[in-house]
Copies of this chain bind each other. A is one copy, B any other.
Amino acid sequence: MMESAIPLHLETARTRHKRVPDDYQPPYPSFVARYKPTVSRVAMAYFGVQYRGTAPLAATDALKDIARLFASENGPSHWDQARYVDQSGFENVVTVAYWNDVARFDAWFAPAREVWTGRQREGVGTFIEVLRPTVERHETLFSSPDRAEGVAVIANGMSGEVQEHAYWGGMRDRIPLSQTDAMAPAGAPELIRDGARLRVVAYDNLCLIRSGQDWSDTGASERKLYLDDVEPVLRQGMNFLRDDGLAIGCYANRYMQVLAADGSATEKSYGQSWWRSLAALERWAESHPTHVRIFGAAMKYLSTLGPSAKLRLYHEVTVAAADEQLFEYLNCHPKTGMLAAVETVGA
């Protein structure tokens, strides 16, 4: 039985249509995270630490600090850690934490923020990027229902097979707010200086995507197919967004390698990017050669292998209201995250 990606309790009288007819049948199954209906809002907080070369003591300390804070009262229900080398050659370790109770997050956050961006750390930059979206402004998608990642880990479980996927526009159609709202961007990002802390204030309908890959369960031939044929194309797309994304509305892109608890690399990765709007993300996804090739390859792969595919793909997309966002940077280089969207030099 096919379900809508939009949960029943978030269905509203539409003023905007889905892109596919009611009898649309996707060519392969996909699944979405289901929250308890009592969950009206989630929090997702990216804590980054940035440095050149090998980790200075201050970086290791920072990671210890955040782990300790996560373990404290009202800490997140789930978090993971990943690393990447950015376009300026800096190493970045980003820890993402998720809460399904925003009151808990709010109670927890203030001291953590002070620890993270409220004090100078020797030889490292730090940043916080937080969204606190209502569930109407948010969607997920999973190629298999038996391993949650990211925000879905804090959900109540997975849906059955959903209808709104495997076509251009499915991402939008899965976001409950799309039933009534075009989610157009309402402004431009602005820089606010608070001493050494740089804050970026954005606008309604800024867009975040985290899009992940997990090849840890693949056998030899599927792994080879992924690593030889799919991953290089994905990397090309990620590099394009990192280096040249601004012109098409991608403020920042990080192609992250997920780390195990001991800091070693896992066989999981994700791309995380900030977009001017959902529409800008849609246009890139459906017209940029690198992503079109990824999508085409995935369609073919999943249509052919079906449930026997061991590669796992997922993503989460949020279109956040202005008052659901926080971007704060301390001692980071000017191309870090949302700083890339504003002019930080000069008066």
Q: Which residues of A contact B (CB under 8 A)?
A: 16-17, 19-21, 24, 27, 166-169, 182, 184, 277, 279, 283, 286-287, 289, 292-293, 296, 299-300
Q: Complex Cα distance A167/B166, Å?
A: 16
* Additional 20 contacts, C-beta under 8 A, given A21-B182, A27-B287, A293-B296: A16-B16, A16-B17, A17-B17, A17-B182, A19-B19, A19-B169, A20-B283, A24-B279, A167-B168, A167-B283, A167-B287, A168-B168, A168-B169, A168-B286, A169-B169, A287-B299, A289-B296, A289-B299, A289-B300, A292-B296
In whole Å, how far is A266's beta carbon from the nearest beta carbon of chain B? 31
Closest B residue by C-beta to A279: B21
Interface contact A21-B184, CB-CB below 8 Å? yes
In whole Å, how far is A173's beta carbon from the nearest beta carbon of chain B? 11
What residues of chain B lie closer than 8 Å to A169, measured between beta carbons?
19, 168-169
Contact of A167 among B21, B24, B286, B289 (CB under 8 A): B286
Q: Complex Cα distance A184/B23, Å?
A: 10
A-B contacts, 7 listed (Cβ < 8 Å): A16-B17, A19-B169, A21-B184, A21-B279, A24-B279, A286-B286, A287-B299
How many of these chains are in the complex?
A: 2
Q: Complex Cα distance A286/B299, Å?
A: 11
Interface contact B17-A287, CB-CB below 8 Å? no
Q: Complex Cα distance A250/B296, Å?
A: 21
In whole Å, how far is A186's beta carbon from the nearest beta carbon of chain B? 12
Closest B residue by C-beta to A183: B21
Interface contact B279-A20, CB-CB below 8 Å? yes
Residue from the set A184, A277, A296 with the largest chain B CB neighbour count within 10 Å? A296
What residues of chain B lie closer than 8 Å to A16, measured between beta carbons?
16-17
Closest B residue by C-beta to A168: B168
Interface contact A287-B184, CB-CB below 8 Å? no
Q: Which are the 5 A-B pairs with shortest beta-carbon distances?
A: A168-B168, A292-B296, A21-B279, A16-B17, A168-B286
Residue from the set A19, A20, A300 with the largest chain B CB neighbour count within 10 Å? A19
Closest B residue by C-beta to A248: B27
Closest B residue by C-beta to A20: B279
Q: Complex Cα distance A299/B19, Å?
A: 22
In whole Å, how far is A281's beta carbon from the nearest beta carbon of chain B? 12
What residues of chain B lie closer than 8 Å to A293, measured between beta carbons?
296
Q: Complex Cα distance A20/B16, Å?
A: 13
What residues of chain B lie closer than 8 Å to A21, measured between beta carbons?
182, 184, 277, 279
Closest B residue by C-beta to A17: B16
Closest B residue by C-beta to A166: B287
Q: Complex Cα distance A224/B167, Å?
A: 33
What residues of chain B lie closer than 8 Å to A27, measured between beta carbons?
287
Q: Complex Cα distance A277/B22, Å?
A: 13
What residues of chain B lie closer than 8 Å to A166, measured between beta carbons?
287
What residues of chain B lie closer than 8 Å to A184, measured between beta carbons?
21
Closest B residue by C-beta to A184: B21
In whole Å, how far is A295's beta carbon from the nearest beta carbon of chain B? 8
What residues of chain B lie closer than 8 Å to A289, measured between beta carbons?
296, 299-300
Q: Complex Cα distance A168/B293, Å?
A: 15
Q: Complex Cα distance A283/B169, Å?
A: 12
What residues of chain B lie closer than 8 Å to A300, measured between beta carbons?
289
